[in-house]
């Protein structure tokens, strides 16, 4: 492991970009060129970087957060979550949420109001009444629109009445379908929604489905062999999923899962009807889960699709940025074990390079493993020839491994040990006392550095 540190603008990310370019261009051609053709390069950053990185290739995986938004919708890797839990105390409920079924109700609504309406006697009195009421309000609303114009009509009483009638009709449709389908209502609607998504004759399918449950039409639906087969298969699969959840009729839209249910549902291909997500995971926990899931799954996918790599260059650009201090203290230890597992499973050797601003991470790296960049450096474009000054070349003044954080901040981090506002306050108190001006005791008491406070007290009493 190598840790790269330095102030903003020193070129930490540019150095990583240069390393990526150097490795990708070093394919063994020529007498002096090193062959890295069997090296996989993975770059991870929790935020998009401004440095130009090479395009994704067979040997380079770019995992900048935000570049590939579809990845954000992937189901969580529960094995990674399980590995994180002992070290970081990451806790979250695992939920399965079934997809919305609005498309089914839209199709039923269209059928009830279209030319090929169902035979009225096969509908419930409540539904017939809701249909008539909506038709009445819809006609009145159309007359209002023509009289007032579209803009004025939007806020009119007629428009509001139509909206209310539409909601009432939707509720009546839902109650009617529940009465038709009984206990299996929710499961059947989910199966119908899946079928509509897979077949283009959605209206004909909904007509067939209503016929199946006793609704008659003057023009019955014809055979829809493929759609009917999909619906039957979906109903069967959803019943099995419901059995795992302890609710074969799937009366709820989401369920909290235990570990056994997660495993069982995954085997039933639930992704056709639902998604699994985490509830109650903090932003720090989400950051860790996203980071290690992205790295592990991208490498696994690359290997599984025929990639043959002996070596891995893993670059993590400020991977600790969303972590509390206590989690930063555990980050390097966990990362070390994570890399050991990746090494054991897939690679002969791994070179890991991190960047950070955190003195906590610096305290976990020996000086020999830290590279410190300086804003005064001429270049970080060629990491092989323009190697930044290592800490050992700075008169051993920089401290890191196991050192007090204040010392690390001051030497390795090259920064002061307090904020500028607090420093200005203390300097102002000292200046006032030295000028013989009174200082409110509160302005002294809020200073928590015991040495500074003692010096000020001595100065205040005339002993300074």
Residue-range domain boundaries for the chain = 2-74+282-402, 102-272, 420-461
Range in 177-181, 217-221, 294-298 with the lowest mean pLDDT: 217-221
Q: pLDDT band at 187, cuts 50/70/90?
A: very high
Q: What angle do CA 230, 236, 237 make, to 5 degrees?
A: 90
Q: What pLDDT sits at residue 126?
A: 96
Range in 172-186, 234-248, 300-314 with the lowest mean pLDDT: 300-314
Distance of CA 64 to the CA centre of its chain: 12
- The answer to whether residue 72 scores a pLDDT higher than 50 is no
Q: For all residues of the chain together, what is the average pLDDT?
A: 87
- Name the CATH topology of 2-74+282-402: Rossmann fold (3.40.50)
With beta carbons less than 8 A apart as the criterion, state whether 372 and 412 touch: yes
pLDDT tens for each residue of 6-50: 998 888 998 999 899 888 887 655 445 567 888 999 999 988 777
Rg of the chain on CA atoms, in Å: 33
With beta carbons less than 8 A apart as the criterion, state whether 268 and 55 touch: no
Residues 319-328: what's their mean pLDDT? 94
CB neighbourhood size of 72 (10 A): 9
Q: pLDDT band at 259, cuts 50/70/90?
A: confident
DSSP string, 239-297: HHHHHHHT-TT--SSEEEE-HHHHHHHHTTTGGGTEEEEEES--HHHHHHHHHHHHHHH
pLDDT-above-70 percentage for the chain: 91
CB neighbourhood size of 306 (10 A): 7
- The answer to whether residue 410 scores a pLDDT higher than 70 is yes
Residues 188-201: what's their mean pLDDT? 93
Distance of CA 355 to the CA centre of its chain: 22
Q: What pLDDT sits at residue 48?
A: 76
- The answer to whether residue 122 scores a pLDDT higher than 70 is yes
Token duo for residue 284? 């720090």
- The answer to whether residue 458 scores a pLDDT higher than 80 is yes
Q: What pLDDT sits at residue 306?
A: 81
Largest CA distance in the chain: 105
Residues 49-65: what's their mean pLDDT? 81
Range in 18-32, 305-319, 428-442 with the lowest mean pLDDT: 18-32
Q: What pLDDT sits at residue 377?
A: 54
Place of tokens 């060129």: 33
Token duo for residue 399? 């401290």
Pairing outcome for strands 60-64 and 349-355: unpaired
Residues 162-175: what's their mean pLDDT? 95
Sheet holding 2-5, edge to edge: 60-64, 39-45, 311-317, 349-355, 2-5, 370-372
């Amino acid at each position: 492991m190598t840790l790269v540190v330095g102030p903003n603008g020193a070129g930490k990310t540019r150095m990583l970009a240069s390393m990526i370019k150097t490795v990708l261009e070093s394919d063994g051609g020529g007498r002096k060129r090193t062959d890295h053709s069997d090296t996989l390069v993975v770059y991870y950053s929790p935020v998009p970087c401004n440095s130009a990185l090479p395009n994704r290739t067979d040997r380079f995986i770019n995992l900048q957060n935000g570049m590939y938004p579809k990845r954000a919708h992937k189901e969580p890797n529960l094995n990674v979550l399980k590995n994180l839990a002992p070290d970081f105390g990451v806790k979250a409920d695992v939920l399965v949420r079934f997809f919305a079924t609005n498309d089914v109700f839209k199709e039923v609504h269209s059928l009830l109001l279209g030319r090929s309406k169902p035979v009225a006697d096969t509908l419930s009195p409540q539904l017939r009444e809701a249909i008539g009421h909506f038709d009445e309000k819809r006609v009145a609303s159309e007359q209002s629109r023509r009289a007032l114009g579209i803009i004025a009509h939007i806020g009119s009483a007629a428009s509001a009445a139509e909206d209310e009638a539409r909601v009432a009709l939707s509720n009546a449709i839902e109650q009617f379908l529940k009465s038709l389908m009984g206990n299996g209502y929710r499961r059947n609607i989910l199966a119908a929604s899946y079928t509509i998504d897979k077949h283009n004759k959605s209206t004909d399918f909904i007509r067939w489905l209503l016929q199946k449950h006793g609704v008659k039409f003057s023009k019955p639906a014809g055979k829809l062999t493929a759609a009917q087969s999909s619906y039957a298969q979906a109903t069967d699969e959803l019943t099995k999923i419901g059995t795992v959840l302890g609710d074969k009729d799937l009366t709820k839209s989401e369920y909290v899962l235990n570990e056994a249910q997660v495993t069982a549902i995954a085997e039933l291909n639930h992704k056709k009807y639902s998604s699994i997500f985490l509830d109650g995971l903090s932003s720090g926990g989400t950051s860790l889960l996203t980071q290690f899931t992205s790295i592990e799954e991208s490498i696994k996918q690359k290997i599984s699709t025929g990639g043959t790599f002996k070596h891995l260059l893993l670059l993590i650009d400020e991977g600790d940025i969303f972590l509390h201090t206590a989690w930063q203290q555990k980050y390097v230890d966990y990362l070390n074990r994570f890399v050991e597992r990746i090494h054991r499973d897939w690679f002969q050797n791994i070179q890991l390079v991190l960047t950070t601003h955190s003195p906590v991470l610096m305290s976990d790296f020996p000086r020999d493993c830290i590279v410190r960049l300086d804003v005064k450096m001429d270049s970080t474009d060629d990491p092989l020839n323009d190697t930044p000054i290592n800490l050992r070349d700075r008169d051993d003044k920089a401290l890191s491994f196991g050192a007090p954080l204040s010392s690390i901040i001051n030497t390795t981090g090259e920064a002061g040990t307090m904020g500028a506002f607090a420093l200005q306050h203390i300097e102002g108190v000292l200046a006032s006392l030295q000028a013989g001006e009174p200082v409110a005791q509160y302005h002294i008491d809020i200073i928590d550095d015991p040495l500074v406070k003692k010096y000020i007290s001595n100065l205040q009493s005339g002993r300074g």
